[in-house]
């Protein structure tokens, strides 16, 4: 009997190839059952490449394939909530690309729907699975850093106007959000994963080089409940090419800096007390990546498979409740930017109904 989990994909756009490639790499544990996209050409070409049926309506796909165990939702962010909530009634586990949604209430409704229908919801944050990040997390959990001091993330990427012209949803408030919610959502996730709950944020944003509804640049100071500080820097207006996607962790007993364009290169690994494995870590954990997506999707989907099979939640895996944390912080960032850098505490008296849009 084939004991592999059956996956389906809703949305055959650019990020889908990372998921489909990861499923191929995990072929001993997973198989692709079907794909779906509103764009018939995308659906057909993807189905032909992977030798599976294609559909234009995910409801038809789900009804035709009761064997599906997990469905990946890879569509514009503004559509995540209604589609996930509708899919939940089929009782299949769901993966959704980051960010989880654009409103806190939508995230809560997604979690509620999955709970009611007995399925689990997972959010893709593949940078948690990068080898240097995993090594840093192991050191963090073992107490090697000591007292937290400061963490910094920098996203200095390049997106030209053509990137936003290729479809009708990128760079819009209704379906996308700006660099803080899209490109830098991964890095904000790393900040809170390492540093813990946020006390308050102070943020400024701007649109400097691109013709967009949303911001192309944002910076923020974050104070964590531990008393440690964080710096969040994000832009898609770096020119002429991608410069970095990085994470710095500073503690009383050690410092780690991970750079590259996708948090993939270990630049600094220094602690007061050297461990046996430290030189091997400095030599071996950096990864070569072909683009800013990095190589973490295989590890991320492997953890989803493990969670579905065992009911356990691996420590790096982001479920719906963990994904909601990111949206609370993002909403606070946008609220602070809309209020010219005022202090905002996530979840406390925030007036944004959707990222970037203040309620009347």
Print pLDDT tens along the chain (360 aa).
678 999 999 999 999 999 999 999 999 999 999 999 999 999 999 999 999 999 999 999 999 999 999 999 999 999 999 999 999 999 999 999 999 999 999 999 999 999 999 999 999 999 999 999 999 999 999 999 999 999 999 999 999 999 999 988 999 999 999 999 999 999 999 999 999 999 999 999 999 999 999 999 999 999 999 999 999 999 999 999 999 999 999 999 999 999 999 999 999 999 999 999 999 999 999 999 999 999 999 999 999 999 999 999 999 999 999 999 999 999 999 999 999 999 999 986 566 556 666 543
Inter-residue contact 57 to 10 (CB < 8 Å): no
Number of structural domains the chain divides into: 2
Cα 64 → chain centroid? 30
Q: Do residues 33 and 119 both lie within one domain?
A: yes
**Matching residue, tokens 């400061």:** 150
> Tokens for 316?
């790096």
Backbone phi and psi for residue 76, each to the nearest 5 degrees, phi listed first: -50, 140
Decide if 346 is inside a domain: no
Decide if 33 is inside a domain: yes
Q: Can you give the residue range of the structural domain that contains 262?
A: 127-290+324-338
Q: Do residues 26 and 169 both lie within one domain?
A: no
Q: Do residues 183 and 60 both lie within one domain?
A: no
Question: What pTM was computed for the model?
Answer: 0.95
Q: Read off the CATH number of the domain in which 104 is found.
A: 3.40.50.720
Helix ranges restricted to H, the chain:
16-25, 40-50, 58-64, 80-88, 104-116, 131-141, 161-165, 185-195, 278-284, 297-310, 320-338
Q: Read off the CATH number of the domain in which 242 is found.
A: 3.30.360.10
Q: Which residues of 70-93 are buried (b: 16+ CB within 10 A; e: fewer)?
A: bbbbbbbbbbbbebbbebbebebb
Ramachandran quadrant class, 264 (left: phi over 0; alpha: psi -120 to 50; beta: rest) = alpha
Backbone phi and psi for residue 198, each to the nearest 5 degrees, phi listed first: -95, 135
Exposed / middle / buried, residue 200 (Cβ in 10 Å: 0-12, 13-18, 19+): middle
Q: Do residues 220 and 137 both lie within one domain?
A: yes
| Cα(177)–Cα(48) distance, integer angstroms | 33
Decide if 349 is inside a domain: no
Of 123, 146, 154, which Cα lies nearest the Cα of 323? Answer: 123
Q: Do residues 13 and 97 both lie within one domain?
A: yes
Decide if 357 is inside a domain: no
User: Is the Cα torsion angle 21, 27, 30, 31 positive or negative in sign?
Assistant: positive
| Cα(123)–Cα(95) distance, integer angstroms | 6
Inter-residue contact 181 to 99 (CB < 8 Å): yes
Q: Do residues 133 and 276 both lie within one domain?
A: yes
Decide if 144 is inside a domain: yes
Q: Do residues 259 and 282 both lie within one domain?
A: yes
- Helix/strand/coil for 107: helix
Q: Do residues 77 and 15 both lie within one domain?
A: yes
Strand partners, 237: 158
Q: Do residues 220 and 303 both lie within one domain?
A: no
Q: Do residues 149 and 252 both lie within one domain?
A: yes
Decide if 181 is inside a domain: yes
Q: Using the 8-state DSSP alphabet, how is residue 176 labeled?
A: T
Inter-residue contact 31 to 2 (CB < 8 Å): yes
Inter-residue contact 273 to 285 (CB < 8 Å): no
Decide if 334 is inside a domain: yes
Q: Which residues of 34-66 are buried (b: 16+ CB within 10 A; e: fewer)?
A: bbbbeeeebbeebbeebebebbeebeebbeebe
| Cα(185)–Cα(157) distance, integer angstroms | 13
Q: Do residues 114 and 157 both lie within one domain?
A: no
User: Is the Cα torsion angle 53, 59, 62, 63 positive or negative in sign?
Assistant: negative
pLDDT score for 2: 78
**Matching residue, tokens 């090697």:** 144
Of 316, 259, 315, which Cα lies nearest the Cα of 285? Answer: 259
Decide if 230 is inside a domain: yes
Q: Do residues 83 and 182 both lie within one domain?
A: no
């Amino acid at each position: 009997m084939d004991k592999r989990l059956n996956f389906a994909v809703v949305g055959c756009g650019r990020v889908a190839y990372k998921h489909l490639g990861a499923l191929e790499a995990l072929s001993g544990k997973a198989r692709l059952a079907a794909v779906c996209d509103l764009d018939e050409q995308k659906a057909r070409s993807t189905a032909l490449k992977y030798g599976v049926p294609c559909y234009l309506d995910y409801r038809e796909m789900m009804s035709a394939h009761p064997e599906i165990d997990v469905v990946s939702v890879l569509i514009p962010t503004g559509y995540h909530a209604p589609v996930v909530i509708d899919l939940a009634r089929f009782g299949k586990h769901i993966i959704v690309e980051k960010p989880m949604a654009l409103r806190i209430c939508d995230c809560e409704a997604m979690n509620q729907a999955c709970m009611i229908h007995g399925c689990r919801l997972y959010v893709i944050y593949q940078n948690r699975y990068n080898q240097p990040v995993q090594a840093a997390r192991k050191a963090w959990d073992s107490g090697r850093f000591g007292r937290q001091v400061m963490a910094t993330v920098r996203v200095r990427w390049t997106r030209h106007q053509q990137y936003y012209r290729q479809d009708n949803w990128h760079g819009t408030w209704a379906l996308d959000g700006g660099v803080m919610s899209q490109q830098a959502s991964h890095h904000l996730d790393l900040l809170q994963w390492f540093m813990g709950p946020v006390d308050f944020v102070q943020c400024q944003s701007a649109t400097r080089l691109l013709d967009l509804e949303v911001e192309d640049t944002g910076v923020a100071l974050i104070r964590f409940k531990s008393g440690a500080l964080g710096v969040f820097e994000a832009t898609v207006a770096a020119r002429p090419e991608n410069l970095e996607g990085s994470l710095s962790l500073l503690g009383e007993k050690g410092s780690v800096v991970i750079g590259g364009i996708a948090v993939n290169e270990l630049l600094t690994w220094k602690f007061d007390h050297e461990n046996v494995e430290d030189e091997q870590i400095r030599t071996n954990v950096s990864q070569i990546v072909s683009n800013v997506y990095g190589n973490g999707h295989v590890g991320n989907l492997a953890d989803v498979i493990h969670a579905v099979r065992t009911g356990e939640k691996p420590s790096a895996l982001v479920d719906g409740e963990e994904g909601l944390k990111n949206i609370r912080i993002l909403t606070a960032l946008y609220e602070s930017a809309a209020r010219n850098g005022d202090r905002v505490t996530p979840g406390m008296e925030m007036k944004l109904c959707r990222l970037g849009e203040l309620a009347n």
